[in-house]
Chains A and B, each alone.
Chain A
Amino acid sequence: MSALTAPPREGAPRLAVRGLSVRFGGLAALDDVSLHVDEGEVVGLIGPNGAGKTTLFNAVCGLVRPSAGSIAVGGLPLAPDPVRLAARGVARTLQGLGLFRGLTVRENVLAGRLDAHDPGSDTQRQLADLGLAEHADRPVGDLPYPDQKKVALARALVAEPRLLLLDEPAGGLGTDDIAALGDLVRHTAATGCAVLLVEHHVDFVMGVCDRVVVLDFGRVIASGTPDEVAGDPAVDEAYLGIEVTAS
């Protein structure tokens, strides 16, 4: 930990996870995981169901306590308090929708920006950017599912995060929406935001990510560019559950 208490360095990764372990009773949900995401970079975190992807997000957000390891944002260790994340420039979407069902679309997005001086204008701009402006004052539950996913994304983006964690952003979306999501993620990264995303949709991950980290049973089994990872027999094995003999 002491190495990470230094002031933020120029070039320090936006997110640095070192030797992270999380245990639930006897289950090692994460076991000595290290990864980093630089500014402007999109990193995909993939792996079969139960691999520990969401748990890694939860640890970064302070929702679960790691048994070992360290997490640093911009070179500074992270306080284990989800409420303080937003102030540190970290935003996250949840694997479900995580929307506030009793609120309108606008209020949902506003809720991501309440500490700002002028949350109204920021919200309006964000809604317009994502094409949600015309639905702004409808109850969020009235929107079709893909639009609700957009609202969740808008709530994360409106806080102008420096580190964005997306948990299955393409889940439940159709081909066109997935393509638009890919553009949005690339665009967000182009502004300097670091993006770490969990996704099962292989084409999406391969098309959008600069690097991919593969988890299985809580351990990193492969990492590299999409092409490197795609050709890695260990990844096929983890996903298909069959022995692939390297020949």
Chain B
Amino acid sequence: MNRRQRLPGQRPLVRTLALAAGWTAVALLGTFALDPFRNYQLALVAAYLCATAGLTVLVGATGQLSLGHAALMAVGGYGYALTSNALPFEGAARFVVALLAGAAASAVVGLLLGLAAARLSGPYLAGLTLAVVVALPAVASTWSTVLHGDQGVQTDFEGVPDALRRIIALEQWQAMVAVVVAAVVVTGLALLRGGRFGLRMQAVRDDEVAARLSGIPAGRVKVLAFAASSVAAGLGGAVLCFVAQAVSPGAYTLGFSLLLVVAVVIGGLGSILGAALGSAVIVLLPWLIGRLTAGLPTDAAQRLDGNLAVLVFGLLLITVMALAPQGLHGALASRRRRRPPDTPRQIDEPAPQKVLVPTEEQR
């Protein structure tokens, strides 16, 4: 990249790449320390991270709220599964082609949704995306010859490459692949947000009219942002299908879609690190609750199982909103940034909003 292209005040490309490579290396090495079940959970976190990172960038940078990212994951999953099943070859090539097909499918759906989304705002956009998730089972049964209704589509299993089979177990391999895909997605999103497009998104979010007057095509920016976020979710869905060897509407319910939003909110809106933390929470919490209720008599445990998770997520959400409105990431960052007690506070005059200035902007 041309050196001049970098915008001042934005994180340099090299730093973004180094940061991404560092985190990826940590996660990949970590898979060696984890048992198969933990590696399976890591793969889930990585797959969810694709979707939540896409969602947090969308909500944080453009202000568009999607309640339908689970459906976009499903689109990626179906794209992956159908392509994988149709391909005449196997191995790494099949995986990569199927993954790209999943991304392409979610790009198309995301573009169409984004076109509608750019004309809607607030509750209307949320409603539209909600409708897409709710409609998913109906879509799967309407085209049941291809999508196989509620049963979903099974795919062939992608095993560990021969060369690595001796040292790496299947779950670890799946976790590693998931981590690499998530790393690519997250890096892509970070670069997108850190460059000119990121500024355009934020300008449109803050003041659409002012953005357009500055030559920023607000409509196109919103559509592209939605499509990019959709591709991220689709890749997450494709990875999930790679891990589970199946995709079905039952995995992408409204509840799951809302859980993605919860992950983004508790992680901290707009923060990719927060999305990673949030994804870990939504994977680990239900499992922890399951462990806790396992000691109870079976019928009580069964009755509690599903409901307790909802309750705990609700409480968690309320707690985070009350104690750390910027989410986990915000709470961590502000702790790090806390000034030593002896440094003088910077004196910021409060913006004199009450001067004789029309606050209602007339345009």
Contact = CB atoms under 8 A, between A and B. Distances in A.
A119, A141, A168 pick with most chain B CB within 10 angstroms:
A119
A95 B210 contact: no
Interface residues of B, number: 37
A136 B205 CA distance: 21
Nearest to B349: A144
A148 B206 contact: no
Nearest to B355: A172
A160 to B, nearest CB: 12
Given A124-B8, A155-B214, A102 B205 contact: yes
Contact of B215 (A83, A104, A120): A83
Interface stretch (B124-132, B194-202, B230-238, B275-283): B194-202
Given A111-B214, A118-B4, A144-B351, A96 B196 contact: no
A168 to B, nearest CB: 8
Nearest to A171: B357
B217 interface: yes
A9 interface: no
B271 to A, nearest CB: 14
A62 to B, nearest CB: 9
A87 B361 contact: no
A142 B358 CA distance: 19
Given A61-B213, A98-B209, A172-B355, A120 B8 contact: yes
B216 interface: yes
B340 interface: no
A199 B356 CA distance: 14
Contacts, number: 123
A159 B362 contact: no
A94 B363 contact: yes
Contacts of A54: 362-363
B202 A103 contact: yes
A1 to B, nearest CB: 24
Nearest to B9: A106
Given A85-B215, A100-B202, A120-B4, A63 B209 contact: yes
Interface in A223-237: none
B58 to A, nearest CB: 15
Contacts of A83: 212, 215-218
B358 A95 contact: yes
B213 A172 contact: no
28 contacts: A82-B213, A83-B218, A86-B213, A94-B363, A98-B209, A98-B210, A99-B206, A101-B206, A102-B206, A104-B9, A110-B7, A110-B8, A111-B199, A111-B200, A111-B203, A111-B216, A112-B215, A114-B200, A114-B214, A118-B4, A120-B4, A141-B351, A144-B349, A144-B351, A145-B357, A155-B214, A171-B356, A172-B355
Interface of B: 4, 6-9, 196, 199-200, 202-203, 205-207, 209-218, 348-349, 351-353, 355-363
Interface of A: 54, 58, 61, 63, 82-87, 91-92, 94-104, 106-107, 110-112, 114-115, 117-120, 123-124, 136-137, 141-145, 148, 155, 159, 168, 171-172
